C-alpha cells in the first residue's frame, strides 16, 4: 500500500497484547479518501481475561489518559451487558485508535439496554426512536469507542435486504441529517448487510453512517472504482483455509463520502464474527 511500518510501533502493541499472534482474529483495515490511503489499521480481538483494552493501552503508553465520561464506558458495558470479547483498532503509523466491545452473535443487543449504560452519552437516546422505526432494535453486535476523539460507533448486524432498499436508505440518511449520497454510494449500500452510525459525546448529531458488506469477491463494489482497495482485496495475505474474507464499506459524512476495506488475515480458534469497520 506504499505505507511505512515502523517496527517500534508494532513492537509496542505486540508487547501490550501478547496473545495477538497465537489467539486473535487479525484484520487489516484501510480507508481510501480522495484516492489516498493514509494508514493501515492492524485490528485484533482481545479475550475478556486480558482486561479492558483501553486500560492495557494506557498502562503500556499506547493511549493518553482522559477524565471524560468516555473513560468508564467499557467498565459500564461489562457490568451491564453480555460482552463476548474486546477488540483493538491500532494504526500501523497512527497508533491506538479504538477499542471494541463485541457481543455474542446469538445475543445481539437492544438499544434501550445500550442507552442505559451509565457512561453512554445522551446522543443515542435522541436517535433511538428513529433507529427503532427503521427496524434496527435488537441488532447491535458491537460498540466501538474512540477515546481520544470522544466518538463511538454502534454496529447493526444481520440486516435484511429491506433495510437497504433505496427509498428506505434515502429517507434514513435525510433523517440522520446527512447530505444526499451519490448514486455510486447508494448502489453499494444496496448490497450491504450491516450499517453503523458514529455518535459523539460533544454533539447531538450523527457524524457519519457507514454501510458494509461481507464478500470473498475481490472485484465486488467498490473495487472497480477504488483501484487501491481492489489491489489489496486481490492480494492481501491470509492464513486460513478457503477464500480470502473481505469486508467492503462505504461511509457518508457531512463533508463527503469515502470507501474502506477490511481483509481478514488470521481467524482465532473461536473466531468472533463481527462487522468491520472504520473511522
DSSP output for 50-80: G--HHHHHHHTTSS----SGGGGHHHHHHHH
DSSP bridge partners of 260: 31, 249
**pLDDT of 85 higher than 70:** yes
Given this model, what pLDDT does residue 1 score?
85
Place of cell 481475561: 49
Given this model, what pLDDT does residue 256 score?
94
Given this model, what pLDDT does residue 270 score?
57
Intra-chain end-to-end CA distance of the chain, in Å: 18
Supply 139's cell numbers. Answer: 441488532
pLDDT tens digits along 130-147: 999 999 999 999 999 999
Given this model, what pLDDT does residue 277 score?
42
Stretch 214-222: mean pLDDT: 94
DSSP output for 177-233: TPPPPPHHHHHHHTT-SEEEEEEESS-SS--EEEEEEEES-TTSTTTTT-HHHHHHH
Supply 106's cell numbers. Answer: 446469538
Which among 180, 104, 117 has a CA at the least distance from the CA of 152?
117
Given this model, what pLDDT does residue 2 score?
87
pLDDT tens digits along 63-78: 999 999 899 898 899 8
In degrees, rounded to 5, the angle at the alpha carbon of residue 26 between the alpha carbons of residues 259 and 216 is 55
Q: CA–CA separation, 278 vs 124, rounded Å?
A: 19
Stretch 139-168: mean pLDDT: 95
Supply 174's cell numbers. Answer: 435525510
**Percentage of the chain exceeding pLDDT 70:** 96
pLDDT tens digits along 89-137: 999 999 999 999 999 988 899 999 999 998 888 899 999 999 999 999 9
Stretch 12-26: mean pLDDT: 92
Its pTM stands at: 0.94
For residue 278, what pLDDT band results from cuts at 50, 70 and 90? very low
* Mean pLDDT computed over every residue of the chain: 92
Kindly give, in sequence order, each residue whose CB lies less than 8 Å from that of residue 67, ignoring residues fewer than 6 positions away.
none
Given this model, what pLDDT does residue 274 score?
46
161 CA to centre of own chain: 21
Supply 168's cell numbers. Answer: 428506505
Handedness of CA 274, 119, 19, 21 (dihedral sign): positive
Is residue 262 a contact partner of residue 247, using CB atoms and an 8 Å limit?
yes
DSSP output for 103-135: --TTSPBPHHHHHTSTTS-THHHHHHHHHHHTT
**pLDDT of 230 higher than 60:** yes
Amino acid at each position: 500500500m506504499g505505507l511505512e511500518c515502523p517496527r517500534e510501533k508494532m513492537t509496542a502493541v505486540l508487547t501490550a497484547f501478547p496473545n495477538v499472534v497465537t489467539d486473535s482474529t487479525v484484520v487489516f483495515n484501510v480507508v481510501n479518501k480522495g484516492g489516498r490511503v493514509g494508514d493501515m489499521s492492524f485490528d485484533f480481538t482481545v479475550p475478556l481475561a486480558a482486561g479492558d483494552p483501553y486500560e492495557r493501552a494506557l498502562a503500556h503508553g499506547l493511549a493518553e489518559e482522559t477524565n471524560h465520561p468516555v473513560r468508564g464506558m467499557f467498565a459500564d458495558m461489562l457490568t451491564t451487558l453480555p460482552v463476548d470479547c474486546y477488540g483493538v483498532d491500532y494504526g500501523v503509523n497512527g497508533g491506538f485508535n479504538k477499542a471494541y466491545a463485541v457481543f455474542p452473535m446469538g445475543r445481539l443487543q437492544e438499544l434501550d439496554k445500550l442507552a442505559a449504560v451509565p457512561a453512554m452519552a445522551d446522543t443515542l437516546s435522541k436517535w433511538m426512536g428513529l433507529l427503532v422505526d427503521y427496524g434496527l432494535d435488537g441488532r447491535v453486535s458491537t460498540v466501538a469507542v474512540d477515546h481520544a476523539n470522544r466518538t463511538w460507533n454502534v454496529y447493526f448486524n444481520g440486516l435484511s435486504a429491506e433495510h437497504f432498499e433505496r427509498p428506505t436508505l434515502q429517507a434514513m440518511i435525510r433523517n440522520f441529517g446527512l447530505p444526499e449520497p451519490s448514486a455510486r454510494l447508494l448502489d453499494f449500500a444496496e448490497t450491504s448487510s450491516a450499517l453503523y452510525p458514529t455518535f459523539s459525546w460533544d454533539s447531538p448529531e450523527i457524524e457519519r453512517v457507514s454501510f458494509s458488506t461481507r464478500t470473498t469477491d475481490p472485484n465486488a463494489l467498490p473495487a472497480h472504482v477504488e483501484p487501491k482497495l481492489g489491489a489489496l482485496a486481490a492480494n492481501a495475505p491470509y492464513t486460513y483455509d478457503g477464500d480470502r474474507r473481505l469486508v467492503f464499506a462505504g461511509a457518508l459524512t457531512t463533508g463527503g463520502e469515502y470507501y474502506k476495506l477490511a481483509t481478514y488475515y488470521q481467524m482465532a480458534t473461536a473466531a468472533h464474527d463481527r462487522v468491520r469497520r472504520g473511522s
